[in-house]
Structure 1
Amino acid sequence: MGTHRRPKPPSRARIATIGMAAGAVSLLPTQSQAAPKPTVDEVRKQVELLYEEAEAPTEEYNGIREKQKELQREAERARERLARKQQEINELREKIGPLAAAQYRSGGIDPSVELFLSGDPDDYLHQAEMLDRTSSRQADALRAMQNMQRELAQERATVQEQLQDLQETRAKAKEKKDEVQGKLAKARKLLNSLTAAQRAKMEADQEREDAAAGASDSAATYNGPASGRAKVALDFAYAQLGKPYEWGSTGPNSYDCSGLTGASWRAAGVSLPRTVKQQYDVGRKVAKSDLQPGDIIYWYNDNQHNGMYVGNGKAIHAPRTGKNVEIVPLDSMPFFAASRP
C-alpha cells in the first residue's frame, strides 16, 4: 500500500483571496440590511425633480379653482333668480285669491234665473259684465302663474346641474391639491432624512449656485429700459424679490409663478387669466430675438412655468417651493416661448 498523502495546505496568496471573497460576500446587502442612504447630491436632485413635477398639477389646480369660483358665482346668481321667481308666484297667488273668491260667490246660479231674481236688470247686466272681466283676469293670472312655475322648475334644474358641476370641480381640485401636497411631502421627507450638517451643505451649495446665476434675494428697484405699463409691471415684480414661492398663491406675501406674472401686470392695469396655459393662450407671441422687458417667458412648455423678461438676458420669476422670487439668466431653464400682454 502506498503512503497516505496529506492535502497540500493552501498558500498565503490563496488564503488572502478567499478572505477577500468572504469579506466581499459579507458586505453585500441582505434583505434584512437597510438600503444605503442617498447622498446629499442625490437628495437634492430628487427634491428638485419632485418640485418640478409639482408645477404642472399646481397650474391645473389653479385653473380648476378659477372654474370653481365662476361656478359658485353662477350658482349664487341662479339662487337669486329662483328667489325672485318664487316671490312673483307668491304675489300672483295673493292676487288670484280674491278673484277666485268673487267668481265662487257669483257662480252656481243659472244666468236666466239670476236675471229673473234681479230687481234691476241693468244692474244685473253690469255685474255680469264685471264678473266676466274678473273671470278673464283670473284666467290670465293663472296662465301667468303656470308659466312662472314652469320657469321656476327649469331654473331649479339649472341650479341643480350647476351645483353638480361645482361638486365635481371641487373633487378635481382636491385631487390636484393632494397630488401636489403628496410630492411636497415626499420632498420634505427626503430633506428630513439629511443630517443638520448635510442640510447646511445643501443650502450653501444652493446659495452659491444662486449667486453664480445672479439671483437676488431682496426687493430691488427696476432700472432697465422698460417704459409704460411694462415698467409698472416690472417695478411691482422687483418689489416682490425675496418673497417666498407658495403654490396656488397670488400674493401679496407669497406667489407661485403665474401668480407673480398675473399680479405684476394687474398692477399695471392689465388683467391676465390665472394659469400659465391661459396666459400663454391670450398673449401675443413674440420671438426670442424680439424680446422686450415685461414680456412673459414660458419655460419647458406652454403650461408648466413662467416669469417675466427684465432685459439683458435675464428674467424674474417665482421658482418653486423652498425658494424665493429671484432673477435668473433667461436660459437657466429650457426656453419655450414668450408673449406680450
Structure 2
Amino acid sequence: MASHRKTRQHPKALKAMTLALAGAAGATAFDGTGQAAPHPTPAQVKGRVDALYQEAEVATQHYNGAREEAGAARAELARLQDEAVRRTQKLNAAKAELGTMAGRQYRSGGVDPTVRLMMSADPQRYLDGATVLERAGSHQANAVAGYARRLGSVRQVRDRARTTAERLERSEAALKRQRVTIVRKLDAAEALLDRLTDEQRRQMSPGAGPAAAPEDPARSGAQAPSSRAARAVSFAYAALGKPYVWGATGPSAFDCSGLTQAAWKSGGVSLPRTTYTQIGSGPRIDRSELAPGDLVFFYSGISHVGLYIGDGKMIHAPHPGAPVRIAPVDEMPFAAATRPA
C-alpha cells in the first residue's frame, strides 16, 4: 500500500505561498471577480477626461505646426526642384556650346587652354581658373566663366533642395508622432466616457448638447474695437454648432486655433496656425480690457484659444464631441489675451 506521509513545508516556502495568495486575492478584488473596487464617480471621470482632452489639444497644436512646416517645406522643395531643372538645362546648353568650340579647335590643331580647363577633373581648380579667365575678356574665356557660374548655381540649388528635403522628412516624422499621441489620448478619453451612463455623461458635461443659443452679436452690449474684429465675431457666431475635429480649419469643422484663424481671416487678417504662434499676432491685452474679437488663451502651455465676444464669454471649439459653442472665459485656466493687428 502506498505511503501517505505528509510533506513538510519549509517556513520560507509557506511565507511565499501566503504572499502569493494575498496578492491573488487583491488582484481578484481589483478586476471585479471578488469584491468589486468602487467605480470612479462622474466627477472623477470628468477630471481625467478633461486632462486627456487638454493633453490631446497640446499634441494637436504641435501637429498643426508640423503640418504647416511640412506644407511650406514641400512647396519650397518643389520650387527648388523646378529651379534645378531650369538651371541644369541652361548648364547643359552652355556645356554643349563649349563642346562645339572644343571640337572646332581640335580639328584646327589644338584645344584652347580655357576649354581644357573646362574639362579638368578638378572642379574647384576649374571654377577658380574660370574666374581668372573671365577677366581676360576673350569670347572663349567668357563662355567658360558663364558655364562655371551656371555649374555653381546648380550646385547651390541642389544643396538647398537637399536641406529642404531633410526638413520635410523631420516635419513629416513629427506629424506621425503627434497624430499617434492625439489618437491615443482621445481613445483613452472615449474609453473612460464609455463607462458612464448617458445620464452621467449629460451630468458630467451639461453644455455638451447643441451649442448655446446664438444671439445677435450686434445686441450683445459690447462694442468690437474695429470692423475687422466685428467680422471675426460674426463669423464665430455663424460657426456655432459645427463639430470639433482636430486639425480642421473649416468651413464645416474646426479645432480651436482653426476657428480663430478662420474667424479673423473673414475680417481680412491672416493669423498663424497654432495657439503658440497666434498669441504673438498682436499686442497683449489685460483681462480687464477685453473686447469682442480678442483672442483668449488658456493653460500654461498656451494650448487652447477662444474668441472673446463680451460679457465674460467666448466662442471656442472645445474638444471632440463638443461642438463650437459659447462658454465663460472662466471655464479654463486663463493664460493671456491678444488683440490681432
**TM bin (shorter chain):** 0.7 to 0.9
The reply on whether 1:324 has 2:323 as its aligned counterpart is: yes
Aligned to 2:27: 31
Alignment coverage as a number of residue pairs: 284
In structure 2, runs of 5+ residues without a counterpart are 1-21, 112-136
SS of 2:297's partner is strand
SS of 1:39's partner is coil
In structure 1, runs of 5+ residues without a counterpart are 1-25, 110-134
Asked if structure 2 preserves the Cα contact closer than 8 Å seen for 1:247 and 1:255, the reply is yes
CA-to-aligned-CA distance 1:102-128 (integer Å, 9 cap, x gap): 21222259xxxxxxxxxxxxxxxxxxx
How many angstroms apart in 2 are the aligned matches of 1:92 and 1:267? 50
How many angstroms apart in 1 are the aligned matches of 2:61 and 2:307? 17
Asked if structure 1 preserves the Cα contact closer than 8 Å seen for 2:53 and 2:189, the reply is yes
The reply on whether 1:182 has 2:205 as its aligned counterpart is: no
Report the aligned-residue RMSD: 2.6
Give aligned-pair identity as a percent.
Answer: 37
Aligned to 2:98: 96
Asked if structure 1 preserves the Cα contact closer than 8 Å seen for 2:193 and 2:201, the reply is no
After superposition, residues 98-137 of structure 1 pair within 5 angstroms as 98-107=100-109, 136-137=138-139
Offset at 1:292?
0.8
In structure 2, which of residues 205, 217, 224 is the aligned counterpart of residue 222 of structure 1? 217
After superposition, residues 288-307 of structure 1 pair within 5 angstroms as 288-301=287-300, 303-307=302-306
Offset at 1:300?
1.7
SS of 2:190's partner is helix
CA-to-aligned-CA distance 1:205-257 (integer Å, 9 cap, x gap): 1453568xxx8346654233335111110111111101111111111111111
Asked if structure 1 preserves the Cα contact closer than 8 Å seen for 2:302 and 2:335, the reply is no
How many angstroms apart in 2 are the aligned matches of 1:83 and 1:166? 20
How many angstroms apart in 1 are the aligned matches of 2:308 and 2:25? 51
Counterpart of 2:286, as a letter, is: A
After superposition, residues 7-156 of structure 1 pair within 5 angstroms as 29-33=25-29, 34-35=31-32, 36=37, 38-39=39-40, 41=42, 42-107=44-109, 136-156=138-158
Counterpart of 2:306, as a letter, is: G
Offset at 1:154?
2.6
How many angstroms apart in 2 are the aligned matches of 1:108 and 1:282? 67
How many angstroms apart in 2 are the aligned matches of 1:277 and 1:141? 52
After superposition, residues 197-236 of structure 1 pair within 5 angstroms as 198-206=196-204, 208-209=206-207, 216-217=211-212, 221-223=216-218, 224=220, 225-226=223-224, 228-236=227-235
Offset at 1:302?
5.3
Asked if structure 1 preserves the Cα contact closer than 8 Å seen for 2:287 and 2:336, the reply is yes
TM-score when normalising by structure 2: 0.76
CA-to-aligned-CA distance 1:140-189 (integer Å, 9 cap, x gap): 22232133222222322221111111111111121111111111111222
Asked if structure 2 preserves the Cα contact closer than 8 Å seen for 1:220 and 1:241, the reply is no
CA-to-aligned-CA distance 1:245-272 (integer Å, 9 cap, x gap): 1111111111111110110000000000
